[in-house]
Structure 1
């Protein structure tokens, strides 16, 4: 087989593989049809799935090793402990009994309903929540962000079985006075509030 035929066959196989990858990846991860955009989008999608898998494994271990208690702080699958200047992680307990762990650039607030992480990324904030699928929950989170003058720049939604990961990129408004840990607590509280309907926001 000539070199030209080998190269043609290689390109054909590459194009077929890229088509398969694109068909398996949600469209909002892939902005353009070129090879770099497809591969980059697939990488982001795999990262999100990996985070969902880690959260599911953590919840499984939690159920196996701990007796259920609404006041028991849960482990944090999304964020490792960030040490403060003394080398020990800081902790703040939210009003409803869940554990909020705080670092210089990140905060995490977990409960039996959801894991919430907020962290600084350049000029913006990355907000992630992992929970069971709750009808109307995305609207409640958006309502919290708008209430405290955050502008939503981007939103990714990934799901596996009955678990969903919401990943927001948000811009801090000039009127916003919340710290990262306060943001995490406010979003966590939205999981305990009444459902919101479209005509209410």
Structure 2
């Protein structure tokens, strides 16, 4: 087989695969018909599916946990005089985060924060609560973070908020403290670090 025939066959296969990818991806993920746009849209769609899968797994995990009270958290820096008893900063996923991430999970919501370059990726999985996104954004702004990007995914009564946030110079919180403050936004009459 000549080099030209091999190349023609490769291009034909590539075009067929791109058509299949485009047909399997919702149209609003793909803005244009060129190869780069199709591949970029498919990547975004797969990321979204991955986030929904994580939300469902987290929901399943919360349902399977016994209703026994969780242990009192151990914090490096005490943020408020009264620590809510149902919030537990744990080492779930510590092998993935090491010093670059933190989790704060409760029966109400799971919060995960990790460093990505000069920004922080923040994921919050909870039941849908009217007005909760405004509370989270308010907390982030009070703590000297700037929301660069927000993605909201829902599945039944569960919602996943995925933030990319910029750390402002005046911010002095650790990732653990950030995760805890966001977790506290789910509690009524919460006291935030900057309010103390």
Q: Same fold (TM over 0.5)?
A: yes
Q: How far apart, CA to CA, are the structure 1 residues paired with 2:15 and 2:33?
A: 16
User: Paired residues, what number?
Assistant: 171
2:20 matches 1:17: yes
2:27 matches 1:39: no
Corresponding residue for residue 193 of structure 2: none
The structure-2 alpha-carbon separation of the partners of 1:32 and 1:153, relative to structure 1 and needing over 3 Å to count, comes to farther
Question: 96, 99, 103: which is aligned to 2:88?
Answer: 99
Deviation at 1:18, TM superposition (A): 4.2
Q: How far apart, CA to CA, are the structure 1 residues paired with 2:105 and 2:178?
A: 13
> In the TM superposition, what are the counterparts of 1:143-154 in structure 2 within 5 Å?
143-154=138-149
Corresponding residue for residue 107 of structure 2: 112
Q: How far apart, CA to CA, are the structure 1 residues paired with 2:44 and 2:184?
A: 28
Q: How far apart, CA to CA, are the structure 1 residues paired with 2:121 and 2:114?
A: 5
The structure-2 alpha-carbon separation of the partners of 1:148 and 1:37, relative to structure 1 and needing over 3 Å to count, comes to same
| Contact 1:113/1:131 (<8 A) preserved | yes
Deviation at 1:42, TM superposition (A): 2.3
SS for the counterpart of 1:112 is coil
Deviation at 1:41, TM superposition (A): 3.3
> In the TM superposition, what are the counterparts of 1:1-201 in structure 2 within 5 Å?
13-14=16-17, 16-23=19-26, 27=29, 33-64=33-64, 66-69=65-68, 71-72=69-70, 92=75, 95-97=83-85, 98-101=87-90, 103-193=98-188
1:23-76 Cα offsets, whole Å, 9 max, x none, are 26x54xx56653233323322332342243234234324433x3214x326xxx
| Contact 1:52/1:130 (<8 A) preserved | no
1:133-167 Cα offsets, whole Å, 9 max, x none, are 11111111111111111111111222222211111
- Measured on the aligned residues, the alpha-carbon RMSD in Å equals 3.2
Q: How far apart, CA to CA, are the structure 1 residues paired with 2:127 and 2:142?
A: 24
SS for the counterpart of 1:156 is strand
The structure-2 alpha-carbon separation of the partners of 1:39 and 1:48, relative to structure 1 and needing over 3 Å to count, comes to same
TM-score by length of 1: 0.69
SS for the counterpart of 2:99 is coil
Structure 1 residue runs without a partner (length 5+): 74-89, 195-201
Structure 2 residue runs without a partner (length 5+): 92-97, 190-196
